[in-house]
Amino acid sequence: MFLIITALAAIVSTAVWYSQAPGDKYRVGLLSLMFWGATMMWFVDHVFAYLTEGGEFFEVNLDATMLGVCVVIVGLLVWQVILLISDPKRVFSRR
């Protein structure tokens, strides 16, 4: 389930980035790249686990869902910290 949740976050952030493409003032492209990197990592992990251990390809349980939600939250928090440091609206540099 965490692969699906991370992939959905990557798709949504890519759509938002594409709608603001020329400017990207809020660095949504970086958020999109973070989510796509996590999605590729989960995909490779799922493929290798499926080939070596067999079983289900997608884990659909509460633990996998919570892991996906936590990964998205941490990605958004990292993005927020990067936004605060880069200060795109120059709120902190005016003083």
> What is residue 94's predicted lDDT score, i.e. its pLDDT?
64
Whole-model pTM above 0.85?
yes
For the cut 80, the answer to whether the pLDDT of residue 79 exceeds it is yes
Q: Is the pLDDT of residue 11 over 70?
A: yes
Quick: pLDDT tens for 64-76.
Answer: 999 999 999 999 9
Segment 12-39 shows an average pLDDT of: 92
Q: Where are the domains of the chain?
A: 2-86
- The answer, yes or no, to whether residue 95 has pLDDT greater than 70, is no
With 80 as the cut, is the pLDDT of residue 15 above it? yes
pLDDT of amino acid 54:
87
- Give the DSSP letter string of 37-85: HHHHHHHHHHHHHHHHH-S-SS--SHHHHHHHHHHHHHHHHHHHHHHHH
Say what the pLDDT of residue 93 is.
76
